[in-house]
Chains A and B, each alone.
Chain A
């Protein structure tokens, strides 16, 4: 029992190191994702609708995965379908941002599916920089706008 615990601990630690290496290895400050709750809405109580990304990145950090685990559980339970909207901040060229939004939305879709959500339940759409949630031109606003939002299909 304790042996297994130690082994698990070791794995988690090593993985943690690896992750942080990834996160800081990027050329731009790679962990500038938003960690607050200001713009967040909820699909259901306790199920946040969005996750945030670092500049120019589409990888999911631990907190984002936590949120998506809740979304996956909720989608499976409720049988609902969702559209995952991918968004980018205003600090990129329009066309590249459309592609980046698409990449982010798909990263979320892939993760939801890895958590057992059926592929048919999740569609994606990218809005690039066209639909910011915070119109301000500031680092905070940009971090809030680099997001994916899961929207229930009526």
Chain B
């Protein structure tokens, strides 16, 4: 009964639409909107010169790249999340989120959060949402992340390294503080993606930078990695702006090689 009713309504509607489609009317004044012109583009520059890799390293690079591929295949958790959303955005098909989420719906609180991002002192505060998000990840994903991490370490360790390790916490903090000041975080980066850029530095005794290298710079020019590239370039600028670093007057062996892991997520999350 209901079906036939709606069918008849539909039918009548269609009749209405066809018969009553009024004749187009034109405005009294013609519209003078500038036409969309065609613009030709020509690339005038070479693509960005990558940090030069000596021939001996090329093989290592290849291996690195392969490993990186393996890592990528294992799909970092953030990509998995995205796929879920795109494929099945229906609420019922999605896992229920933590009740903590509702905290965010208090307007005053949200305002606070927005403000927080400009004062990073507050970032250290306990963030229930973040914890919730961590718990939310499945065990499989965690395992994969761990695997990924160990692989990454492999890449880091393929050059010879000092046996004597370690800086005191104060010394580390002093270096951190210097870099913080030099680093302009690219504000347009996605606030909800995991991106880390690792830079290896070789330092002279006076703290000046002998050499800086992005550990997986191949990733920079891979399609779909533009956010990584942007972050990497900003990290390189930070390092250069901080040159020379103020380093402890002794123990050059301990810090002649440094690895800096740049991660903007915490600050962009706001």
A and B touching (C-beta < 8 Å)?
A: no
